[in-house]
Amino acid sequence: MQYQWDFGFLLQYKGLIGVGVLYTLAFTIGTAVSGLVVGCMIALARLSNMRVATAVVTGVIEIFRCTPVLVQLVWVYYALPILTGIELSPSVAAFITLTLYGASFFGEIIRGGIISVDMGQWDAGRALGMRRHQLMGDVILPQAFRRMVPPLVNQTVLQLKNTSLLSVLAVPDLLYQGQLITSASYRPLETYTMIAVIYFIILFPLTRFAHRLEARMSH
Amino acid sequence: MSVQKMIELVGVRKSFGKVEVLKDITLNVARGSVVALIGPSGSGKSTLLRSVNLLTVPDQGFIRVGEQALDFTRGHRLPGDRELSAFRARTGMVFQTFNLFPHMSVEENVMAGPVKVLRMPKADARTLAHELLAKVGLADKATARPDTLSGGQRQRVAIARALAMKPEVMLFDEATSALDPELVGEVLAVIRSLAAEGMTMLLVTHEMAFARDVADRVVFMRDGCVVEEGPARQVIETPSQPATRAFLSHFHNGLGPS
């Protein structure tokens, strides 16, 4: 049987699709920023001499790195409110989960970047009498940042793809809108093809950008 | 002691884990003099040098450089980041591996200390940097990136960077050990001219002929202890301790005529 492709009907859902794209992008950018902030704190805690802070943070990171995001999302939305008595809206639960999930990876990238800077650079800055924050800001981070950018971009790409999991909590991201359109139109082939194409259009330039950065760094 | 002491270390001890690297070291460096620390690797001479500007914080002991003193004997509070930084700002240090800041130009490297630590206006710092670069023979390299320079040039920039803080003393940690043999001379020449100007210097070196000719005193260390100390020529040419003699016997071929 020959399937009759017909993408025309999707036009009438452009409002829904627009909302989906907006949610996907907003969650990606929002949790990338919050994840970077939390990730920075994680990296500094792990690099500090405070044993307790290091141990706690390392434990949390491992939990987020070694369980699937989907499980984390469901757990934070359904189980956490029962434990704490605090009701979370799907969007808030999703935001918290993706922030912490992203942060546990961002944190390791940032920490890796910082410790990849030669110990002699710390010696040189200290020998000049630089304070800890000057040393970090003027000597270590500018060198570490160059090495961090490509993996940070790659992690952000993954973060955007992970937002598709928000659909299980009925957050109206791109995939969730696709499911809505499918159940109304009974045309999953066109709908999911279009959803995939939209993800690709957003992500392809980003991965190209990461490649270009990596090539620039390596010479 | 009739000469004024610029660097004074008393009872300095340091352990890394279970290994005691410095065992109750006492050392004085007179103002305007040059002292060379020699000894086999693992003898603790680099750790001792690094404890003078507190890059390595000792477990025990008293350290004074110029007017500034810190006491690490039991019961004293450990200095914080602010105190350590202020202490280090008065000493200059030059490392075996240069440790120039690769993301800055040559002049920015030299300006980094004055601008960031001393809050000197950038224009003044640039003038100072150019003076110092001229002094080490690199006036034409101000805008170059460190990775375009030879090892000897990099080390001379590192010396200029340390001098930019107008230090009271200069510490050299095997400043020529990472250099190709033909580049050693240009760095030693700069150190020699600093000695002639009366800069107080403490240097860890494997250049025995240089230590003999430029240093006023030589300190021989082994296993975290000072084994022998005295006038440079005497310690290197007629050492009194068997351990010093044994160590120096590895070098005598390279000592050359005096």
Complex ipTM: 0.91
With CA atoms as reference, report the closest residue to B187 among B196, B198, B179. Answer: B179
Q: Do A120 and B53 touch (CB under 8 A)?
A: no
Q: Find the residue in A nearest to B162 (Cα).
A: A128
With CA atoms as reference, report the closest residue to B57 among B79, B27, B36. Answer: B79
Residue B213's Cβ-side half-sphere holds a number of Cα atoms within 13 Å equal to 13
Alpha carbon distance A187, A7 (integer Å): 9
How many CB atoms are closer than 10 A to CB B127?
Answer: 13
Domain that holds residue A39: 11-218
B170-229 pLDDT, tens digit per residue, is: 999 999 999 998 999 999 999 999 999 999 999 999 999 999 999 999 999 999 999 999
- From chain A, the residues in CB contact with B82 under 8 A are 131
With CA atoms as reference, report the closest residue to B65 among B121, B10, B139. Answer: B10
Q: What share of chain B has pLDDT > 90, as a percent? A: 89
**Total domains in the fold of chain A:** 1
Max Cα–Cα distance, chain B, nearest Å: 55
Q: Do B116 and A134 touch (CB under 8 A)?
A: yes
Q: Would residue A203 count as lying in a domain?
A: yes
Q: What's the pLDDT at A146?
A: 84
User: Best residue in A126, A128, A130, A148 to probe B by mutation, most B CBs within 10 Å?
Assistant: A128
Residue type, position B53, single letter: N
Nearest 10 degrees: Cα torsion A94, A96, A98, A99? 150
Asked if the C-beta of B208 comes within 8 angstroms of chain A's C-beta atoms, the answer is no
Closest Cα in chain B, distance from residue A51 (Å): 17
Asked if the C-beta of B162 comes within 8 angstroms of chain A's C-beta atoms, the answer is yes
How many CB atoms are closer than 10 A to CB B2?
Answer: 4
Alpha carbon distance B226, B23 (integer Å): 9
Read off the tokens for A186: 């009974």
Q: Do A126 and B88 touch (CB under 8 A)?
A: yes
Residue by residue, what is the 3-state secondary structure of chain A?
CCCCCCCHHHHHHHHHHHHHHHHHHHHHHHHHHHHHHHHHHHHHHHHCCCHHHHHHHHHHHHHHHCCCHHHHHHHHHHHHHHHHCCCCCHHHHHHHHHHHHHHHHHHHHHHHHHHCCCHHHHHHHHHCCCCHHHHHHHHHHHHHHHHHHHHHHHHHHHHHHHHHHHHHHCCCCHHHHHHHHHHHHCCHHHHHHHHHHHHHHHHHHHHHHHHHHHHHHHC
A85 phi-psi bin (left φ>0, alpha ψ -120 to 50, beta other) = left
Q: Would residue A6 count as lying in a domain?
A: no
Q: Would residue A23 count as lying in a domain?
A: yes
| DSSP summary character for residue B78 | P
How many CB atoms are closer than 10 A to CB A183?
Answer: 10
Residue by residue, what is the 3-state secondary structure of B91-105?
EEEECCCCCCCCCCC
Closest Cα in chain A, distance from residue B201 (Å): 15
Residue B232's Cβ-side half-sphere holds a number of Cα atoms within 13 Å equal to 20
Alpha carbon distance A201, A182 (integer Å): 21
B119 phi-psi bin (left φ>0, alpha ψ -120 to 50, beta other) = left
With CA atoms as reference, report the closest residue to A111 among A214, A210, A39. Answer: A39
Q: What's the pLDDT at B2?
A: 44
Q: Would residue A1 count as lying in a domain?
A: no
Mean pLDDT of B1-6: 71
B11 phi-psi bin (left φ>0, alpha ψ -120 to 50, beta other) = left
Give yes or no for a contact between B215 and B32, defined as CB atoms under 8 angstroms apart.
no
Alpha carbon distance A43, A36 (integer Å): 10
CA-to-CA dists, residue B240 to A61, A91, B57, B220, B231, angstroms: 60, 80, 32, 11, 12
Q: Which CATH number does the domain housing residue A163 bear?
A: 1.10.3720.10
Summarize chain B as % helix, strand, coil (round to 5): 40, 25, 35
Give the pairing type, strands B91-94 and B169-173: parallel
Q: What's the pLDDT at A217?
A: 72
How many CB atoms are closer than 10 A to CB B225?
Answer: 16
Instruction: Tell whether the model's pLDDT for residue B154 goes beyond 70.
Output: yes
Q: Would residue A3 count as lying in a domain?
A: no
Burial status of residue A200 (CB atoms within 10 A of its CB: 0-12, 13-18, 19 or more)? exposed
Q: What's the pLDDT at B194?
A: 95
Q: What's the pLDDT at A213?
A: 81
Q: Do B113 and A129 touch (CB under 8 A)?
A: yes
Residue pLDDT tens, chain A, 219 long:
688 888 888 889 999 999 999 999 999 999 999 999 999 999 988 888 888 888 988 998 999 999 999 999 999 999 999 998 888 899 999 999 999 999 999 999 999 999 999 999 999 999 999 999 999 999 999 999 888 988 999 999 999 999 999 999 989 999 999 999 999 999 999 999 999 999 999 999 988 988 888 787 765
Alpha carbon distance A90, A208 (integer Å): 33
Strand partners, B218: B36, B230
Q: Would residue A4 count as lying in a domain?
A: no
Q: Would residue A5 count as lying in a domain?
A: no
Asked if the C-beta of B34 comes within 8 angstroms of chain A's C-beta atoms, the answer is no
Task: Tell me the domains of chain B and their CATH numbers.
Answer: 5-90+170-255 (3.40.50.300), 101-167 (no CATH)
Three-state DSSP class for residue B69? strand
Closest Cα in chain B, distance from residue A128 (Å): 5
B28-45 pLDDT, tens digit per residue, is: 999 999 999 999 998 999
Kindly report which listed range (B50-64, B71-85, B227-241) carries the lowest average pLDDT score.
B71-85
Strand partners, B212: none
